[in-house]
Amino acid sequence: MDKKLYLVSDLSSVSGLLWGGCGLSAWYGVPALQDDQLRRQMSLVVNEAADVAVQCGVDEILVHEACPLDLEILHPATRIIRGSKSLYLDHTFSGLCFLGQGLTASIPFPDNYPKNLRNIQLNGTEVDELTIMALYAATLNVPVIFAHGEESSFHHLKKHIPSLMVSSVIDSVLRENLDSLDGLQKPVVQGPIEMEYIFDSPIFADMHCRLPGVRRISDLATAVSAKNMQEAFASYCAVGLVAVADWVHRGS
């Protein structure tokens, strides 16, 4: 059976990866994220993971570009997804890898910068984008096989996958997990699921309520009821259309 890997190159803001299907890259309008040095750093991280994957017999490597990459130096075995409205993930993938977490944490943004999507709750527990993706991947029987970067970036995810090893060293950890895929923990969330979204302004809650199935639960918060994690993930992708203003403001 072929081995396929899905690599995600960093995340810089909640809803930054998915972008709501606007067809724009996750760093659109954020000049600091387009720095040549950052592109090279992230590309070298992806290349190292791709090298290990190829050595371990991985046949296909798909890279979800949530932090900009230098396509000229990128590993030839990779294929890139840019400006996507969702994850191109299915049950045929052997694993999901998060790469470069914290790499963009040092990028300066104004102290008064508005964070339009403040918080996401799943069945009363705070979650982030990493966690939502991991829980969705688990419904496809795809485990998170590698978490690369700063430990603090995986705070929420480790509540659901306590055994997850976070490391700044790619080779040994990724190689070991590729050799023991069947033993990796896959977090399961049983339905029904209640997703709550807390915004910085009632305006964004108003905008979210225009989408089907969204309820207003307070001045700043909305909720969506889902039968399972697949529906919950779809609701998260849809909220990107509202939270997209985060990235527009950052570029202004």
The domains of the chain, with CATH numbers, are: 4-251 (3.40.50)
**Token digits of residue 78:** 């990779």
Tens of pLDDT, residue by residue, the chain (252 residues)? 688 999 998 865 544 545 544 555 655 556 666 678 888 999 999 999 999 999 999 999 999 888 888 889 999 999 998 877 778 899 999 999 999 887 766 666 555 555 678 889 999 999 988 899 999 999 999 999 989 988 888 889 999 999 888 888 999 889 988 888 877 778 888 889 999 999 888 988 998 999 999 999 999 999 999 999 999 998 888 886 665 544 333 333
Helix (H, G, I), strand (E, B) or coil at 187: coil
User: Reading across the β-sheet that carries 221-226, which strands appear in turn?
Assistant: 125-127, 117-122, 193-199, 221-226, 214-216
Residue for token pair 């923990």: 185
Cβ atoms of residues 129 and 177 within 8 Å: no
226, 193 Cβ separation under 8 angstroms = yes
| Residues 51-81: tens digit of each pLDDT | 999 999 999 999 988 888 888 999 999 999 8
Helices then strands, each counted (H, E), the chain: 7, 11
Sign of CA dihedral 46, 50, 52, 53: positive
Dig out the tokens for 45 from the structure. 């991280």
Return the pLDDT at 20: 44
Residues forming a β-bridge with 225: 194
Q: What is the pLDDT of residues 222-243, one digit of tens each?
A: 999 999 999 999 888 888 666 5
**One-letter identity of residue 202:** P
